[in-house]
Structure formats: structure tokens, C-alpha cells
Amino acid sequence: MNKNEQGFKKIEDSFCVLFTKGSYKQVEIYEREGLIFAKFGGGFIKVYQNGYTSKNEVVCKGINCMGVIWKEGAGGLEVQNESS
């Protein structure tokens, strides 16, 4: 793995609620390169501030994450450190 690449890091005590095909599902959320992803099936989908995701027909209905500041970045929803 390139030293500039990083894997998906779980954001502890956090989750989001996804909605697809008439069903809601609570899933864990992860951070990768400053962007927010939701666990979906065998992989991950990117979550955007407007509730859309990188997967068609899947919408994020809410995120519960204590102590994290969210902002919309060029590539999606980003974690912003409190000191930033």
C-alpha cells in the first residue's frame, strides 16, 4: 500500500440511517482521507451532506456522531477537526 493511501477507519460510537427500497437500516460510519462513508453490503458508500450517497437508490436519512463537525468538501462530506 502506498504510504499516502489509507484504509477505512471506523468512527466510534457513530452511525447513520440509510433508506433504500422502502427499508431503513442503521449502519456504522467510517472515515477515509477525510471523507465520510457508510458500511453497505460488503463495502462502503460515500455520504454527502444533502443526504445523497454514491450508490443510486440509497439515501442517508441521518447521522449520529458525537464530537464531530461536518462540512461539505469537494469530494463529499468531510470530518473537520475542532481546531480547524
- SS3 annotation, 40-80: ECCEEEEECCCCEECCCCCEEEEEEECCCEEEEECCEEEEE
CB neighbour list of residue 9: distance below 8 Å, 6 or more residues apart: 30, 31, 32
**Residue pLDDT, tens place only, 13-46:** 899 999 999 999 999 999 998 888 999 999 999 9
pTM, to two decimals:
0.75
Which sequence spans correspond to the domains of the chain? Answer: 9-80
C-alpha angle 64/70/72, rounded to 5°? 130
